[in-house]
Amino acid sequence: MDEIVKTLFSAPLATVFVIAGLIFLLVAVVGNISGKIEPGPKGRLFSGILGLAFVVVGLAMHFAQNSAQPSTTPNSPPALSKPAEQIAVVPRAPHSLPVNTPANQAPATLNLPANAEIIEAGCSFSAAQIEGEPGSSHVVACPAECDAAYQILNGTDTYTSNSFICLAAIHAGLIGPQGGTVQVIIEKGRPAYRGSIRHKIQSSDYGKYDGSFRLAPPTQ
């Protein structure tokens, strides 16, 4: 008896439904089982309906499970997985960058000396992070949407070295919100800086600061 109970508990649910339905149908047809189950006419009718319902539900579950499994034929070759699409990454020339040009002109190419360093900056990159003496120039490539980032910008034309370079480039009109490339010239500090509004960017007034920078278009 214990083995039968264990088998029922480990059997699929569809099989349990079918077995239960057959038992109820047996009660409905025979009328009694070993003198222990003796339903009346109404009980036999109810047992027959319930047994039929269990059998139908169990068979439906069984066929649903079989249809969900993929069918395979002995002679059919195994399906080959499609190889992952390879993306070719074309490296950019180390010293060739697009120069910002109007939309109706063909883009020019920025030709830099062999030892020039191109700084791929983020929107919060400042001149204070550039290691260079006053008078040194550096090429900075700016990403897009730096006008929407957190802003530190002091001065006009000449900015404090803690100002964001890409934001200053938009303020100076050298690049647009879509990003671009500028030349940064490191300068000495000044006793004061005057703020202004240019190209929808507000820069602030500032007092004495130890370092400065100004911007210029990259040399073509």
Say if residues 158 and 212 touch (Cβ distance below 8 Å). yes
Is 202 or 78 the better-scoring residue by pLDDT? 202
Residue 21 is assigned to a structural domain of this protein: yes
Closest CA to 182 of 192, 173, 190: 173
Tell me which residue of 151, 147, 154 sits closest to 179, measured CA to CA.
147
The pLDDT, as a whole number, for residue 10 is 54
Could you report the per-residue pLDDT of 16-73, keeping only the tens digit for each?
767 776 776 666 666 666 555 666 676 667 767 776 776 777 677 767 666 655 444 4
Task: Select from 67, 92, 109 the last residue of a domain.
Answer: 67
- Residue 19 within any structural domain of the chain: yes
pLDDT in tens, 167-184: 999 999 999 999 999 999
Residues 130, 61 share a domain: no
Answer yes or no: do 124 and 55 share one domain.
Answer: no
Q: Of 4, 60, 52, which is closest to residue 24 (Cα–Cα)?
A: 52
The answer on 127 and 205 residing in a single domain is yes
Between 191 and 81, where is the model more confident?
A: 191
User: Per the domain annotation, does 98 fall within a domain?
Assistant: no
Say if 138 falls within a structural domain. Answer: yes
Which helix (H) or strand (E) segment holds residue 26: the answer is helix 13-30
Q: 48 and 131 share a domain?
A: no
The answer to whether position 168 is within a domain reads yes
pLDDT at 92: 41
CATH assignment at residue 194: 2.170.130.20
pLDDT tens readout for residues 84-134: 433 333 334 444 444 444 434 444 444 454 556 789 999 999 999 998 899
Q: What is the pLDDT of residue 84?
A: 41
Number of domains in the chain: 2
Helix 13-30 and helix 41-68, axial crossing angle in degrees, nearest 10: 160
Q: Is residue 6 part of a domain?
A: no
61, 127: one domain: no
Contact between residue 176 and residue 146 where contact means Cβ atoms under 8 Å apart? no
Asked if residue 54 and residue 124 are part of one domain, the reply reads no
Shared domain check, 142 and 58: no
201 in the same domain as 141? yes
Q: What does the chain come to in residues?
A: 220
What is the pLDDT, as a whole number, of residue 206? 97
> Is 2 part of any domain?
no
Tell whether 62 and 131 lie within a shared domain: no
Both 142 and 53 in a single domain? no
Which domain does 26 fall in, by range? 11-67
* 17 and 64 Cβ atoms separated by less than 8 Å: no
In this structure, is residue 76 part of a structural domain?
A: no
- Residue 28 makes CB contacts below 8 A (sequence gap 6+) with 39, 44, 45, 47, 48, 51
What is the average pLDDT score of the chain?
A: 74
- Measured between alpha carbons, how far is 194 from 189 in angstroms, rounded to an integer? 13
Can you read off the two tokens belonging to residue 162?
């803690």
d(CA 126, CA 212): 10
220 vs 217: CA distance, rounded Å: 9
